[in-house]
Structures are given as C-alpha cells and as structure tokens.
Amino acid sequence: MKEFGLYIHFPFCIKKCHYCDFNSVAWQDELAAEFFTALCEEVKMVAAEYNHPILKSIFLGGGTPSCFSGQAIVNLLLLLKEEFDLKEGLEVTIEANPGTINQDKLIAFKEAGINRLSFGVQSFDNQILNKLGRIHTADEARDNYYLAREVGFTNINLDLIFAVPGQELSEWRTTLDFALQLTPEHLATYNLKIEPGTKLGDDLARGRIDPVSQDLDLEMYQLTKDLLIDNGYEHYEISNFSKLGYRSKHNQIYWKNRPYLALGPGAHFYDGKVRGNNLESIGKYINIIDTGKRPIENEERLSREDKIIETIILGLRLKEGISILEFEEEFGESIYNIYNEELTELNEQELIKINSQKISLTEKGMVLANDVLSEFVL
C-alpha cells in the first residue's frame, strides 16, 4: 500500500503578522468551530477516497494550529488514527506560536501523539518581533520553549527570520546565539521575502521602509551557516539545520517529491499522479464539504516533463542532491540526456558538484540557489 505524508492547514491566527501572505485570518470563534467540524468531515472523505492508506508523517500547520484547544487537537488525532493506518514511529509535528501556548495545552498535544514542536519564534529581539507584528515577546518564546522541555518534548524546531528591514548583522547574530543556547534539535532560518498585500509590502511600496541589501542578506545567510555548522548542526537543506537524527521527516517528503495528502482551506497536495489544492476561502471550503464533496479548487495530472523539473528543483535543495541512478530508474533516461548543457555550465561555474553517484549544490550554489534552480525549467 502506498504511504503518504499528511499536511493539515489551520487558517486562523490571533492576528495577521506584518509579513504573512499565507492563507489565514484573525481568529473568529464561530467560524473556527465550523471550520473544525468541516475539517473532520474532510478527514473521512480523503481517507475513504484513498482506501485508508498508511501515513508516515503528519504536519499540522497554518496559520496557527496552536490557537485551537488542546482537546480539539486530541480529537483530531484520534480521528486520524481511526481513519488512517498510522505508521509506527511516525513524526507528528504541530506549528505553535509562543503567544498561544500554556502547560495544559502542551500536555494535551503530547498525549495526543504529537512528538515534534515547531515554534514560530522568528526572533529573540523584541524590536524585530514588533516590526514583524508578532504577538509574543522574546521572553515568552524562551519560557514556552523551557515549558515544552518540562512537559517532555525532545524534538523541537525553532523558525527564525533574518533580513528584516533595519536589522543589522550583529542583531541577527544575537538571535542566533540565543537560539544556540537553547539547543533545539532543529532550526529553520529564512530570509524575509516582502510580499505584496502584506503590511510590510504596503510599507515598502509607500517608501516607509527599505529592504535589506542583497550583500547584507548574503552576509546573514553565510553567518547562519558558519555559526550553526560550528555548533554541531547539519546543514541538510538550503534553509534547514538539524542535530544528527533530527531532520524534518515530513519536509523531506516535499523535497524528495514523494506523495502527500493535504486537508484544510488552500492546502496543496500531490498524490504521486495528481497535484492540486483546496479552495482558499474558509466559507466556501465549509459550504462545499457540507454538500458532501471534497473542496478541491484545482487538479492537474503531471506530465513526465513536470515530474522531471520538480524532481530536480526540489531534490537539489537537499545537501545530498539528486541520485543519478535513481533519476534514470524513475524516468528511464539519463539526466545528462536532458540537461547536459545546463549541468556542464553550472559545474564550470562551481555552482554544482558532480560525481559518479550524485549531483548537488556547492556552497556557492546554495547561496545562489534560486538562480541555479531556474536553469532546470525545461
């Protein structure tokens, strides 16, 4: 039987952050309750459609899943256990905002079977947190991290953001140093992309803020790599670092282009043949489910060319890169037949490295990843 990862999107936050363009809205009691009822129905629909398959990872994301009560999360995990075959030892992650956590909720999460916490800390600098529109303080993030440890969580990720307008290299270094003192098992570090339609996007358009320069952005990225590697973290993906044995199992499903199911408004799925997404509107999502139908907005059966491009672009994000043999076995053709010119040029520019078994990004290629990956669009 085919194994899947499962992503569940919770489209609610206490309030919208200044940089966020994800599908989420500010919390509304009645709408959140209606959404949760619809979500449980979608669980049953998808499980039945795929004949109650094996799940090898579960990721509760958003939005802010930790806005919901501990009991709601317990009930959801019990339903998943009833409707799917949960693989022994599967990774179950919940994204949590430090401003929405308490001891009782953490205990409930753990009892529900969640074994990995992903804290959206973003910064340990209160001025930066304020610029980002976060609802928590640096002290709250630290205190909730320690609380999670006391409850018994042994696999914790911290999300951090750099290249915030006005941020200096020394300020980013302070956040990294503080994070390292906490010794989380995993760190995900992202440079801020200012998107249209966000508060920061509006501020940028109106000239109220200036983006961080590309040179400073690269300095911050290089500092991140050097500091985390020196402190025992493996740089296993462009933006992700882990202690030995703590790579994100769920995210590796995406990067290795393996199948995953997805639930919730706007959630994207890839079942190995078809890629698609749900309706983004929470109201429409609820209404469609109420009629007994899945709330799918788009579906696309991927061509061989689509699968090749995605395999390359996603796989090169990982430290190990792409297996030359596995590529040929999957597509029945050598990667050199398709991309010989691009591979030769990128190799000469020292942006990728090639040996008899694999193709991967160099350190220089990691820094310039977007430019490198764009070369593989057929």
Within 8 A by CB and 6+ apart from 163, the residues are 191, 192, 211, 212, 216, 217, 220
3-class SS of residue 249: helix
Q: Is the bond leading into 63 cis (omega within 30 degrees of zero)? A: yes
Exposure on the CB side of residue 321, measured as CA atoms within 13 A: 21
Question: Residue 277's beta-bridge partner residues?
Answer: 268, 298
Element (H, E) at 323: strand 322-323
pLDDT at res. 329: 95
Per-residue tokens: 311: 């395999």
State the 10-residue block means of pLDDT for the chain, 378 residues long: 93 91 91 98 98 97 95 98 96 96 96 97 96 94 97 98 96 98 98 92 92 94 97 97 98 95 98 96 98 97 93 94 95 94 94 94 90 86
pLDDT at res. 161: 97
* d(C-alpha 52, C-alpha 261), whole Å: 12
* d(C-alpha 82, C-alpha 215), whole Å: 52
- Say what the pTM is: 0.94
Q: Are 270 and 5 in contact (CB under 8 A)?
A: no
* d(C-alpha 255, C-alpha 321), whole Å: 10
DSSP for 85-124, written as a single string: EEEEEEEEEEEE-GGG--HHHHHHHHHHT--EEEEEEE-S
Q: Are 84 and 121 in contact (CB under 8 A)?
A: no
* d(C-alpha 211, C-alpha 37), whole Å: 42
Per-residue tokens: 261: 């199911």
pLDDT at res. 378: 64
